[in-house]
Chain A
Amino acid sequence: MTQTGSGFLTINTEPLKSVSDIERTTLMTLIPARIAGLFGGRRWRSLAPLAVLIVLCVLIAIANPNFIELRNLVRLANSAAVPLTLAMGLTFIILMGSIDLSVEGTLSVAAMVVVLLAANDSNGNDYGWWGVLAAVIAGTAMGFVSGLVQTMLRIPSFMATLGMWFIGLGLSVYMLGGSAIRLNDATIRDLALTRFLGLPLAVWVATGAFLLATVIQYHTRLGRHILAIGGDEDVAKLSGVNVVRVRITAFALAGFFFGIAGVLAAAQLGQSHAVIGDGRLFAAVTAVVVGGTALTGGEGGVVNTLIGVLIVTVLANGMILLGISPYIQQTVQGLMIIAAVALSLDRVRLRIVK
C-alpha cells in the first residue's frame, strides 16, 4: 500500500539495509519469506491480513453457516463501528511511529460531554446535536493538547498520552459523579437504533470516518507528511516538513476520531459512565497492528486498519458462534494476533527485533 502513489515522499529504506541481513534470519522467518517470494514478495505481504480475514470468514462460515446470514453481517458491522472509528485516529499516530494511549480517556470525555449536554437523566440540559458537536470538539481538543505536550514540552508520546488518558478519565469520573448517566435524546440514540439501507446509522458514520481517513492519508499533504515522519523523521525534517505542526495536527485529528467514537459508544449503550472506554485501547492497537501497520511507523495505513478491525471483530463473533469456552477465548485471541502479525510483517527485513 505504501509504495504506490506516495512517490518521493515515502522513504523507502530498503536500499539502506545490507544484503548480509538475510544471513541472520532464522529458519522460521525464512520459510514464510520464501513462500512469500513465490507469490511476489512484498505485495503478497501487504495482502496477508486480507488473506487472514478471508480464511477466518470461510472457516467460521463452514463451522456455522449462521455466520454469513445477513443479520449477522449487520451485527458485525455494528460492533465494528466504534473500534473502526477509534482505530482510524490511532492509525495516523502509529504511522508516525508514535503511540496514543489516551484513547480511553478521550473517548470517555467525549461520551461524558454528549450525555451531559443532550437530554439525560441527571441534569436539565437538552442541547441535542450541539452536544455531539461539543463532544467532537472536546475530543479534538484533548488530542491537540497531547500534540502540544509532546512537541512543545518534548515529552515522548507514550508518556504524554498516558497523562492525557488519566486526565480524561479523571475528568469524566468527576463530572459523572461516578454513576452511569442515561442518554435520553432520541435523535442521538437513533445513531444506534435507526437503520438506513439495513445498516444502523452508526455504521454509516464509521464508514464516513473511514472514507475521510482514506482521503486524508492518500490525498492530502498531511497524510504524506505523517507517513514521511514515520519513515524517517530526520529525513522528513531535512526535506522541509514542519514536523511540529504535522505532529500536533495528527494528534488533534486522532482526537477528532476518538470524539466521534465516544458519541457512537454513548449512543449505542444509551448511557455514559467513566469506564465506557475500558479495553478499547488494547482492541484498537491490536486492530491497527494486526492489519499490518508497523508499530515502528512509516508502513501501513487506514485500509490495513479496516481489515485489522474486521479480523478482530470477526474473530470475537466467530468464537461465540463456534461456542469456544470463555475460559480459553483470550488464549485463542492471543494466538491469532501472533499469527496475523507473523504473516503480515516482513520479518526478514527487520534487522533488530526489540
Chain B
Amino acid sequence: MKDRKSLTLSGTVSRRTLMLGATAGVAALAMPRVLRAQEKPTLVTSIRSLSNPYHAVWKTGAEAYAKWAGLEHVTLVSEGNSEKGIADIKAMLAKTGGNMVLNSDPNDTPDARPIVEACAKAGAYVVTQWNKPPDLHPKDFNPNYVSHIEFDGISSGKTIAEILFKTIGGKGGIVALGGLISTTAAIERKKGLDAALAANPDIKLLDFQVANWKSTEAFDLMGNLLTRFGDDIKGIWAANDDMGSGALEALRAENLAGKVPIVGVDGIKTAVDAVRTGEFACTVTSDPFWQGGMGLAIGYNAKIGKFDPTKEPPEHREFYGKAVLISHDNVEEYYKTNVDAKPEIDWNDLWGRVTGAIRT
C-alpha cells in the first residue's frame, strides 16, 4: 500500500525509490498477521439503511459498544443495494488490511457468502445476523466466521398471537396484517400465528392481508377491513409494529383506538408508547441495541483470543437470540431502562441470550 501512495504523490520516480518502495511494501505484506494485529482492530457495522428506526437503534448499540471497548467504529449502509453492501465491506477490508471485526445484517440472503468469504480471505472476523443461505456455516470458515444470529420468527409470531388471544378473552375474530410476502421474517411470523390459531379453535382469523411492513399501507387496509368485518374484529395481529401503528391510527379515526387491541413485533417507540396507553397489547423485540453491540462484541472477543471459535459448541455458532417481550406487565420498567435511559447491557455476557441452535 505504502509504495503505491508514494508513487502517486511524487510523480517522477527514480528506479531506486521504486525498488525501495516496492521492497518496503513487500516486506510489509510479508509481515506475519500477528504483528499487524497488534494495532487495535476497527469495528465495522454493515446495515441496510438508517431511514428505519430498527437499524437506527442498531447503530446506537454498535456505537455504545465501541465506546465501551474504546475502539474505532465505522457504519456502512447498503441502502438496500446488495452490490454496494458487499463492495463497501471489501473496501473496508482493503483499508484496514483485514484488521477488523464485522457485524453484518446482509441485505439479502445470498450476500452472506461473498461477505464471509472476503472476510475470511482477509483475516477479518465476522458475525452475521438474520440472513444467510442454509448451506453456509460458521464452522466452514474457522476461525474467521464466528457466529450467525437469528431470532425465531415462529416463536415471536406465536407469542404475540397468544397474548392477543388472552387479551380478547380467548374467543372472537381477529384480522392479521402480514409483511412483504417473500421475506423469511414474514413467512415465519405467519407460521407462528397459524400455530397459535390451531391451538385456539375459538379464535377465528377473519382475514389475512399484506401491508408490506408499512404503516401507510396498513392504515388504508385497516379502514377497508373495518368495513368488511365491522365490530366482528376483536383484535389485530401485525407482523411488525409499524403496520400495527398504521392500523392503530385507522382505529383512532373511527374512535376505536384502545378498544381493539393490537400486537406487533420489533418494539419501536410508537409501539412501546401504545403498550403504555393500552392501545397495543404487547410487542416483542429482538433488541437491535443488543444486536448492534453484541455482534461486534462476539467478533472482537474471538479476534483478541478471549475465546476460540473452533472450540465453541454449535449453539454458540448459529443461534436464536432471546427476544424481549414488552407487555402491560413490564412496560413501565422497560420504558425506564430503555427509552428514558440508554439500555445497560453487560457486553461481557456474550452468550447470555442464546436460546438454542438454529433449526435446519
Contact = CB atoms under 8 A, between A and B. Distances in A.
B242 interface: yes
A180 B228 contact: no
Contacts of A193: 252-253
A161 to B, nearest CB: 20
A66 B226 CA distance: 10
B219 A66 contact: no
A275 B52 contact: yes
Contact of A66 (B59, B228, B245, B246): B228
Nearest to A317: B224
B105 to A, nearest CB: 14
A107 to B, nearest CB: 10
B215 A269 contact: yes
Interface residues of B, number: 39
A121 B178 CA distance: 28
A25 B102 CA distance: 61
B55 A269 contact: no
Contacts of B50: 173, 177-178
A270 interface: yes
Contacts of B225: 320
B273 A182 contact: yes
Contact of B51 (A64, A274, A279): A274
Nearest to B224: A320
B207 to A, nearest CB: 7
Interface string A164-175: 000001000100
A276 interface: yes
Contacts of A78: 223, 253
Interface stretch (A47-55, A144-152, A221-229, A321-329): A321-329
Contacts of A72: 227
B228 A64 contact: yes
B56 A269 contact: no
B210 interface: yes
B74 interface: no
A29 B228 CA distance: 38
A192 interface: yes
Contact of B178 (A192, A271, A326): A326
A192 B253 contact: yes
A2 interface: no
A79 B227 contact: no
A178 B270 contact: no
A268 B249 contact: yes
Interface string A278-292: 111000000000000
A34 B252 CA distance: 51
A327 B228 CA distance: 19
B216 interface: yes
- Interface size bucket, A side? 35 or more
A78 B226 CA distance: 13
A327 B273 CA distance: 32
B253 A179 contact: no
B227 A71 contact: yes
A43 interface: no
Contact of A276 (B59, B216, B224): B216
Most B C-beta atoms less than 10 A away, residue of A64, A67, A193, A280: A193
B51 A178 contact: yes
B207 A268 contact: no
Interface string B206-223: 011110001111011101
B181 interface: yes
Nearest to B181: A327
A274 B209 CA distance: 24
A124 B59 CA distance: 24
A279 B216 contact: yes
Contacts of B196: none
A66 B230 CA distance: 10
Given A193-B253, A279-B217, A269 B246 contact: yes
B268 interface: yes
Contacts of A320: 207, 209, 221, 224-225, 227-228
A69 B223 contact: no
A269 B249 contact: yes
Contacts of B210: 326-327
A192 B208 contact: no
Nearest to B225: A320
A316 interface: yes
B73 interface: no
A273 interface: yes
Given A269-B246, A320-B221, A326-B208, A75 B181 contact: no
Contacts of B268: 179-180
Nearest to A321: B228
B227 A317 contact: yes
Given A72-B227, A320-B228, A321-B224, A279 B242 contact: no
Nearest to B59: A178
Given A179-B53, A180-B269, A275-B51, A200 B221 contact: no
Contact of B242 (A169, A176, A180, A270): A180
A138 interface: no
A179 B207 contact: no
Given A177-B56, A178-B56, A274-B51, A66 B215 contact: no
A271 B245 contact: yes
A282 to B, nearest CB: 12
A199 to B, nearest CB: 11
A72 B226 CA distance: 8
Most buried by B among A72, A179, A321: A179
Given A178-B56, A275-B52, A317-B227, A268 B214 contact: no
Nearest to A80: B220
B219 A268 contact: yes
Interface string B42-81: 0000000111110111010000000000000000000000
5 contacts: A78-B253, A182-B273, A269-B246, A320-B209, A321-B224
Interface of A: 64, 66-67, 69, 71-72, 75, 78-79, 121, 169, 173, 176-180, 182, 192-193, 200, 265, 268-271, 273-276, 278-280, 316-317, 320-321, 323, 326-327
Given A320-B228, A326-B208, 4 more contacts: A75-B224, A180-B245, A270-B252, A327-B210
Q: Which 8 A-B pairs have the closest CB atoms?
A: A178-B56, A320-B224, A326-B210, A178-B50, A72-B227, A274-B51, A179-B53, A75-B223
